[in-house]
A = this chain, B = another copy of it.
Amino acid sequence: MSKTIDFYYDYGSPAAYLAWSQIYDIAEKHSATVVRKPALLGGIFKETGNRPPVSVPAKGKYMFHDLVRYSKKYGVDWQMNSAFPINTIYLMRGALYAQKEGFIEAYDEACFNAVWRDNKNMGDPEVVAQVFAEAGFDTEAIGASMQDPEIKKQLFAVTAEAVENGLFGMPSFIVDGELYWGQDRLDWVEEAIA
């Protein structure tokens, strides 16, 4: 029977970008379905008492090297973002709108690539508008969704659901009720769906 991978992500996480670059190929290989769960990493940190790895300088420095190693292994263009850490709350709200409207695949691609391939400051509304226009999105509709009380509530709900499911960081995956944290656990995710 075909399995389902719940994929929790935030565009602000470099490891989520690397996971996003791999997870769909892995899922396809085993005819599994990826269920996108755009959520707010900052909210998860706050709720669980966790902190970003870069809050420990030595860890941040190491993580950069670790991400370089994995991006080379995957053959994926990646660079550190100059504006890191980016406040992604508006982008993540837009993701829920894109999911509702059926263009989440293109939206993920635009946001992840802008931040982690093209080094754009996606915390800057003007840059965001430009990236969305280039992707052919209805920038006004997305902009409006970012202030929509229903969307705000929904982002809060997905993030709360993530915490209920045991998440404390991103990216995370759930297969058969089992939690896997980190792009470095993709092998385990693949084993779980195989």
Contact = CB atoms under 8 A, between A and B. Distances in A.
Give the number of copies in the complex. Answer: 2
A84 interface: no
A162 B178 CA distance: 35
A22 interface: no
Nearest to A44: B58
A65 interface: yes
Interface stretch (A88-96, A108-116, A163-171): A163-171
Interface size class of A (residues with CB under 8 A): 20 to 34
26 contacts: A48-B58, A48-B59, A49-B55, A49-B56, A49-B57, A50-B56, A50-B58, A50-B59, A56-B168, A58-B163, A58-B166, A58-B167, A58-B168, A59-B168, A59-B169, A61-B166, A62-B166, A62-B168, A62-B179, A62-B181, A65-B178, A65-B179, A66-B181, A66-B185, A69-B188, A184-B184
